[in-house]
Amino acid sequence: MPEGDTVYRTARRLNTALAGATVTRFELRVPQAATVDLTGDVVHDVVARGKHLLHRIGPWTLHTHLKMEGEWHVYRRGERWRAPGFRARAVIGARAADGTEWETVGFDLADIKVVPTTAEDELVGHLGPDPLSATWDPATAAQNLAADPRAVHVALQDQRNVAGFGNEYVNEILFVRGVLPTTPANETDAAAMIDLGSRMIRANRDRADRTFTGDTRPGRTDWVYRREGRACRRCGTLIRGGSLGADPTRERIVFWCPSCQR
């Protein structure tokens, strides 16, 4: 599933094309919203909230989630789509103030809804603080994490505690902090964990290629994520792997160094 930095970059790219533009085409190819038409309305902005995308158009908000496969593309009108049309779930055409015609297409999207902008909190109000938001509140995020008795690998991915961290971030945060994934979150230094995670995701926010080690070369960007059975970059011990989740239906792959994480 895309991490918060990926969603942030997607929102920024969409906002650059659409903010201030007038909608000329609006199609939602899902039964629950197929009749909604915002043609003629002005796009105020497109923002990310954790892993959620919000298009604010006229008095409405289009909410989408990328889940595992979703993506938004930005085209000049008339350009050939880089994915097959049957995968398109949303198509927004817009004319910018300078006359440029844009077409943004959402492929394989999930959780598509249109609500009054005044009701956005019904969709994203449950989310915890977002480290890529202008209103980032690290103290509340740390407080949420410190109050969670579940395994820290699970607690850090709970978007109600802090919004934006996915599985890759959590595995890497725990390695750098030297914490076993199974450690109860309320037994860790939650403030330090949140501080590290926020610095990581902000450092990657503007990078085309995410890295946790500082090395952007292929195969060298992660400390432990997807490196089971390979030598730890720090101590040489073989990285272990497994799965962990809030329940059996929500397990995620987990990786750790048994020497560096105790």
| Active-site hit among 56, 177, 210, 252 | 252
Does the annotation count 51 as an active-site position?
yes
| Active-site hit among 2, 129, 131, 181 | 2
Q: What angle do CA 167, 169, 89 make, to 5 degrees?
A: 60
What is the number of other CB atoms lying within 10 angstroms of the CB of residue 39?
14
DSSP-assigned states of every residue in 216-238: -STT-S-SSTT-TTSB-TTT-PB
- What gap in Å lies between CA 43 and CA 23, rounded to an integer? 7
How does strand 43-49 pair with strand 252-256?
unpaired
Supply the angle between the helices 190-204 and 138-146 in degrees, to the nearest 10.
130
Does the annotation count 2 as an active-site position?
yes
Phi, psi of 117 (to 5 degrees): -60, -30
| Active-site hit among 9, 51, 89, 210 | 51
Active site residues: 2-3, 51, 252
